[in-house]
Homo-oligomer: A and B are copies of this chain.
């Protein structure tokens, strides 16, 4: 049943005009938007993002499709689209069976092409494009098996999981044998953990309550609503104005009380010395972590938690003991393959994984990875939680399901990457109806 031949790879530039929502001139509209959308998720640095995807569809000769994407912030998505088109030539004509029986080889084919490797390697545009393509391949595989991706991984033989990982450059931190050993040991209690996840879901935290510049009134209302819905863990965006940060952190801590969890996220705003001084001023609010205080490439700047762009960067953060939490990303790392490597390294170094999500579809994808982490790798929920942002889920055919501040495991086959075709068409840039209207204004 696995002899699906890939006959076509298409990629589209799909953008949501979130930067306009943020700047609606009508104050009422703006207030509505602030309450309902997390439009300034990356806003200390990434002002006015248009949440976007380079959206990939793989067609096979038997009619089965695979969907995948990477997340971007608007401008430049066309560059990622161009990169996906360059990679597509390496994918078309392949059989799914051949890909998954040597997935490490296929990963290397995409990341180590003799000429294109120069454009990365394994970083920036070309790595985002790799993630989009491989996400679609994983989606296709899970659909071919009739399972949601997390379940495909959970049921997979440890040897096959390890065969999906490229260990080049990380063997000084994690060998293939160690990875296999971790997975074998975690077989114990697996069924119990899977049952628990199906019943209760995976714990989430919310980033929707405390964006920069929110008024006291809005903060109070959002916090009250969130507490009523069962949220116990809250992330606050900081870094633009220290007084505003102190005010919002103080208010949030008052609202949620001492036993709930507070995190802060600086979105790469600071130099190292600046970060230390700023964070000291916020220490009284007892944040669990400081996210991205400085450049994501700065291992020696001692980030407490960081979104890295590759397993080689994660390896060093772990080796340098510069991370207290690992934040994986379903669209920035080289798809499931590279995330598997990072989950296993994090376990070896005994650092909890708390995925990055939000944007467009990042929640949909990363829930699969963190379910696998709990059931088959870490076996622990201690200090672990998955980010959640209530935004743009309505464009997906199988949006995330949150119950009582927990991610409920998806049941549909695939990697939850598929978007509604109508949403894709309306938001295609620059020819979709949504953009035609905006551009013609």
Stretch from A68-76, A96-104, A203-211 that touches the partner: A68-76
- Find residues 22-75 in chain A having any chain B CB closer than 8 Å to their own CB: 42, 45-50, 72-75
Which residues on the B side are within 8 Å of A93 (C-beta)?
none
The contact string, 1 if C-beta is below 8 Å from chain B, for chain A 305-333, is 00001101101100110000000000000
Out of B48, B83, B300, which one reaches A114, CB within 8 Å? B48
In contact, B310 and A297 (Cβ under 8 angstroms) = yes
**Contacts of A117-148 to chain B: CB distance below 8 A:** 117-128
Question: Which of B78, B117, B128, B312 is the one whose CB lies under 8 Å from A297?
Answer: B312
Q: Report the bound CA distance from A50 to B113 in whole Å.
A: 13
Task: Kindly state whether residue A377 has any CB partner on chain B within 8 Å.
Answer: no
Evaluate whether A123 and B126 lie within 8 angstroms (CB atoms) in the complex, with A49-B115, A79-B82 already known: no
Q: Does residue A301 face the partner (Cβ distance < 8 Å to B)?
A: yes
Minimum Cβ distance to chain B for residue A323 (Å) = 13
A50 with B123: in contact, given A171-B272, A297-B313 (CB under 8 Å)? no
**From residue 279 to 296 of chain A, which have CB atoms closer than 8 A to chain B?**
294-296
Are A78 and B73 in contact, with the CB atoms below 8 A? no
Using A79-B83, A300-B320, A316-B300 as known contacts, say yes or no to A119 and B310 having CB atoms under 8 A apart: no
Q: Which residues of B contact A439 (CB under 8 A)?
A: none
**Contact of B119 with A79 in the complex, beta carbons under 8 Å:** yes
Kindly state whether residue A112 has any CB partner on chain B within 8 Å. yes
Partner of A119, one of B49, B76, B167: B76
A177 is an interface residue with CB less than 8 A from chain B: no
Q: Check A256 for interface membership: any CB of B closer than 8 A.
A: no
B contact residues around A295 at 8 Å (CB): 121, 168-169, 312
Q: Which of B73, B167, B299 contacts A118 (CB 8 A)?
A: B73
CB-CB under 8 A from A76, the residues of chain B are: 83, 86, 115-116, 118-119, 126
**A300–B299 touching, CB < 8 Å:** yes
**Could you tell me if B114 and A47 are in contact, using CB atoms closer than 8 angstroms?**
yes
A389 at the interface (CB under 8 A from B): no
A243 CB–B CB distance under 8 Å: no
CA distance A301 to B172 in the complex (A): 9
Distance of A384 from chain B, by nearest CB (Å)? 26
Q: A78-B82, A125-B79, A300-B319 are in contact. Are A72 and B119 (CB under 8 A)?
A: yes
Any chain B CB within 8 A of the CB of A271? yes
Cα–Cα, bound, A91→B168 (Å): 40
Q: Is A273 an interface residue (CB 8 A)?
A: yes
- Smallest distance from the beta carbon of A240 to chain B beta carbons, Å? 13
> Can you list 10 A-B contacts (CB < 8 A)?
A46-B115, A49-B118, A76-B118, A79-B83, A122-B297, A124-B126, A125-B125, A167-B271, A300-B319, A300-B320
Which 8 A-B pairs have CB atoms at the shortest separation, nearest pair first? A124-B124, A125-B125, A75-B115, A74-B115, A169-B295, A172-B272, A47-B114, A76-B116
